[in-house]
Amino acid sequence: MVKVSDLTQPDRTMVMGIVNVTTDSFSDGGKWVELDAAVAHAHELIALGADMIDVGAESTRPGATRVVPELEAERAATLIKELSQAGIRTSVDTMRATTAQAAAEAGVDMINDVSGGLADENMYKVMADAAIPVCLMHWRTVQFGDAAGVADHGGDVVDDVHATLNRLVDNALDAGVEHDQIVLDPGLGFAKSAADNWALLQALPEFVAGEFPILVGASRKRFLTEIRAARGLDHGPIDADAATAAVTALSAQIGAWGVRVHEVAVSRDAVDVAAAWKKGKDFS
Ligand code: PMM
């Protein structure tokens, strides 16, 4: 049985590099769809300091159409098998139990479900049977698969995320997932306004002080591109890499378990800075 502690970095925040083998992810879609390119990109991210690779084979970007289940499972499992044989730790970013199952058979180390297990009635059982860590993310939506729009979080987004994550944890525990296999994620950008995202980041210390390790996924999201847009600068997803690294540094200082990022090098620098800062000593 693999536990979250097996993936935890002893003295610092864990850096998860993203490789999306999709045709339409909002920032890197289409680029890594060929297996060789995806494998090479994953190796590059590891060389730059990623601790594990999050493999996504279905985009959740607003307006995305869902990938045929068999194709998603095959794309994800093929890449995961290749990486796992090369000794690279992986997670699978999926809302489908069949894909999670295929990934588990291919040697994946963690199941990362942006629906928190709610999109597929078989997911919690697959998670429990796989006996590996799971990341349960907050996403309030009537229809999983499309992150468009801003959901009604009942007045206080922080309260809603706390309450919903608690419910997801209960679901997972009831299905047999172990307590020390659960990571939680507030789900930045998923049906949330920029104000919602900032409120959640402001509340990050509360989340980190809770019972479960916290993963932060801010990378290249629109609320970060808005910072440069407000100053009239270029503000494509890639232009948000510096803001992403700033979120990483602050999340690391607050004690987040991990960050999920596209541009690994700067975020790894940021977590190393936070670690050295905390210790008051260097890395030699
Ligand atoms: N964001 C995206 C996809 N998967 N998983 C977790 N746990 N947390 C996130 O914030 C998250 C995620 C969307 O970003 P992408 O399309 O660039 O992968």
Identify the residue whose tokens are 């999983």: 144
Residue 284 predicted with pLDDT over 70: no
Rounded to the nearest integer, the mean pLDDT of the chain is 94
Share of the chain above pLDDT 70, in %: 95
Closest atom of ligand 1 relative to the 215 alpha carbon: 7
Lowest mean pLDDT among 61-70, 133-142, 210-219: 61-70
Split at pLDDT 50, 70, 90, the class of 1 is confident
Split at pLDDT 50, 70, 90, the class of 49 is very high
Closest atom of ligand 1 relative to the 28 alpha carbon: 17
Asked whether 222 lines ligand 1 (CB < 6 A), one says no
Residue 33 predicted with pLDDT over 80: no
Distance 133 CA to ligand 1 centre (A): 17
pLDDT in tens, 219-274: 999 999 999 999 999 999 999 999 999 999 999 999 999 999 999 999 999 999 99
Distance 217 CA to ligand 1 centre (A): 6
Paired tokens of 130: 């796989």
Residue 26 predicted with pLDDT over 70: no
Residue 223 covered by a domain: no
pLDDT of residue 215: 99
pTM listed for this prediction? 0.95
pLDDT of residue 76: 96
Which mutation among 7, 135, 137 tests ligand 1's pocket best, with the greatest number of atoms within 8 A of CB?
137
How many independent structural domains does the chain possess? 1
Domain boundaries, position 266: 4-216+247-279
Asked whether 20 lines ligand 1 (CB < 6 A), one says yes
Asked whether 263 lines ligand 1 (CB < 6 A), one says no
Residue 234 covered by a domain: no
Which mutation among 93, 139, 204, 222 tests ligand 1's pocket best, with the greatest number of atoms within 8 A of CB?
93
Residue 238 covered by a domain: no
Which mutation among 45, 134, 260, 261 tests ligand 1's pocket best, with the greatest number of atoms within 8 A of CB?
260
Residue at 31: amino acid letter: K
Residue 25 predicted with pLDDT over 60: no
Residue 28 predicted with pLDDT over 90: no
Asked whether 58 lines ligand 1 (CB < 6 A), one says no
pLDDT in tens, 55-84: 999 887 777 778 889 999 999 999 999 999
Residue 230 covered by a domain: no
Split at pLDDT 50, 70, 90, the class of 30 is low
User: Mind telling me the catalytic residues?
Assistant: 221, 260
Residue 190 predicted with pLDDT over 60: yes
pLDDT in tens, 84-136: 999 999 999 999 999 999 999 999 999 999 999 999 999 999 999 999 999 99
Split at pLDDT 50, 70, 90, the class of 27 is low
Specify the CATH number for the domain of residue 62. Answer: 3.20.20.20
